Amino acid sequence: MPYERLDKDIQMMKEAGINVVRIAESTWSTVEPQDGVFDFSHIDRVLNAMHKAGIQVIIGTPTYAVPTWLVKKYPDVLATTPQGQNRYGVRQNMDITNTHFRFHAERVIRKIMEHVKGHPAIIGYQVDNETKHYNTTGANVQALFVQYMKTKYKTLDAINKAYGLDYWSNRINNWADFPSTVGSINASLSAEFSKFQRKLVTDYLAWQAALVREYKRPDQFITQNFDLDWRGYSYGIQADVDHFAAAKSMDIAGIDIYHPTQDKLTGIEISLGGDLTRSMKLDASNRGKNYLVLETEAQGFPQWVPYPGQLRLQAFSHLASGANMLEYWHWHSIHNSAETYWKGLLSHDFEPNPTYDEAKTIGRDFEKLSSHLVNLKKTNAVAMLFSNEALTAFNAFSFGWGASQKYNDVLRPMYDALYEMNVGVDFVDPTSTNLESYKVLIVPALYAASDALLERLNRFVKNGGHIVYTFKSGFSDENVKVRATRQPGIINEACGIYYSQFTIPQQVSLKDDPYKVGKEQNVVKTWMELITPTTASVLAYYDHPVWGKYAAITENKYGTGLATYIGCITSDAILKKVLEDAVKKAGIWGAEQQLSFPLITKSGVNQQGKTIHYYFNYSATPASLTYTYKAGKELLSNGAIAPNAVMPLEPWGVKIVEEN
């Protein structure tokens, strides 16, 4: 930004109600222009000006983009990946384990912290940025992996047996001969290396957090802006980070969420990112904690410039999932380099624009309503069980040679269906201690899982829980070794089924259209398991001259619970019906489910102990709904709302009701 604009920018920020900014990340080459030469003037200038204006500051460590002098002095700072060594230019091109990188990263972090630690404007620190392992696979990383394997397995015989390394003469007979994983054809070894790479990220972020913790005040927090799988926008579980493990070293979890807008705005990515981040850390009652949205778009890509009303809708949607802060990337639109056309709140002319003007209304409402909306506590009866290990293993094989589908292509349709039915969701993973506190677990493609996890899930059903599994669950152990039993392995006890064959469907549907979705939607595609029930009831058979004797979807009473198994990929319409049926049978189909997308509702309890209901219209068409709870107040208009009152919702509109 042009320096002479700082006072003007602060004035515009104040007019928009902006009360926090994040600075200093990615500025290593400005903070340390040469090795050991430090200049904090740009940080001081902004810090002091923000403090004078009453705007709080989050300081980011600058380590995700390395300076030229560091790479020139130590070329090995650039990560070696399966494609060779990285070149200088893009961000996040370094090897986060490299000793030269670590030495200089620690020094610049300490220098910044020593300089700013006493500043009263600072409320917290962000370590690094959207950190991942960047597929670092060089000789030094391979050596660290061998040490990791020695610690975990003790002997090569144990590794050879667990991973089936006799195949194609991949057996390792001497630790000195341990090969690079880059060329491995063994999915077990590759999956373990991926787990190791994710651990590098967990350890790296914990290392940075520990450095910052030496300097920070007790009233300041440490966070990280985790990101999601990227499909041109935030999509699903991030393959390169173990979010739940990495979040343990943070005081509060943070997330970056980017999503389509205009006619493609659904709110799903806002909800998914929020639900996942809220679930990263648990509060005293074993439920998810409030979190920070450290980045989301204001204008963003040209196709993301929001329609009138959409910026407000998005902002309150973040709060409805439990966010305690909303930050835009970024304040202005830069005039050069890679993100020139990733536009900020201000356009390239730095003047007010319709998006900025709408942000001013958000700021006024946040200021007025914060005491009612902050620290929203959410309690959900449904959780989605995801697994980084299953993700890696499933992605290795997917649905056979050449198949393009990934784990998130299984998870997202299930999440999307629940969102569209207004079923609140938390996320859990195999390490979660709170699985048993839910009524329903949704389990997409749990391809790799330990015996202990599957037995735990059987107990969950036996003790009254409801589970919905998809195809390819329970298939292999935690080492991606396929179980030598009837599939789906251990969970067949709770599911009451077995199968030994599967195929790619061609012109297959479900017999007699059991979910009444019509011919176009009654399809089986991509994958089908040929299921025989033992104790299970069949919800749907395949309609096919050969495969018609096999079950496609089943449910089984086990103990006092119910296990549903979906053995094929169906249309989204069928999947939605299956999940609706499961939620109803679990006894949690209620008032919120009387609405469905594009009318979205979310709720929680505020810090005064009052229930808050959010209502969103994710469409360009006016709508209305019947308010079915006890009398309250619509906070945005400050108007009274009676039970069974009809509330209009304008296109892309939002209403917030606080019960009396």
Please list the active-site residues.
Answer: 130, 295
Separation CA 6–CA 121 (nearest Å)? 16
Q: If you compute the radius of gyration of the chain from its CA atoms, what whole number of angstroms results?
A: 26
Question: Rounded to the nearest 10 degrees, how much is the dihedral formed by the CA atoms of 515, 517, 518, 519?
Answer: -80
Q: Which residue is associated with the tokens 């409801």? A: 466
User: What CA–CA distance (Å, rounded) separates 311 from 351?
Assistant: 18
> Contact, 544 vs 550, CB < 8 A?
no
Contact 588, 379 (CB under 8 A): no
Answer yes or no: is 129 a known binding residue. Answer: yes
Report the alpha-carbon distance of residue 84 to residue 63 in Å, rounded: 22
Cβ(297)–Cβ(258) below 8 Å: yes
Contact 432, 453 (CB under 8 A): no
328 touches 295 (CB < 8 A): yes
* Cβ contact 14:55 at 8 Å: yes
Instruction: Find, among 399, 566, 341, the residue nearest to 469 by Cα.
Output: 566
Q: What's the one-letter identity of residue 288?
A: G
Query: How far apart, in whole angstroms, are the C-alpha atoms of residue 471 and residue 537?
Result: 17
Contact, 313 vs 600, CB < 8 A? no
Q: What distances in angstroms separate CA 291 from CA 253, 282, 356, 651, one per listed residue?
A: 5, 11, 24, 28
Do 57 and 48 meet the contact criterion of CB atoms below 8 Å apart? no
Edge-first strand order for the sheet with 568-570 is 502-503, 524-529, 568-570
Decide if 517 contacts 494 (C-beta within 8 A): no
Q: Is 463 annotated as a binding residue?
A: no
**Which 3 state secondary structure label does DSSP give 275?**
helix
231 is annotated as contributing to ligand binding: no
- Comparing CA positions, the residue from 623, 659, 627 lying closest to residue 645 is 627
Q: How far apart are the first and last CA of the chain?
A: 47
Burial of 9 (0-12, 13-18, 19+ CB in 10 A): buried
The tokens for 171 are 């057996």
Place of tokens 């000006």: 49
CB-facing half-sphere around the CA of 204: CA atoms within 13 A: 31
Backbone angles phi, psi at 538, to 5 degrees: -90, 120
- Sequence ranges of the binding site for substrate: 91, 129, 304
Q: Specify binding-site residues.
A: 91, 129, 304
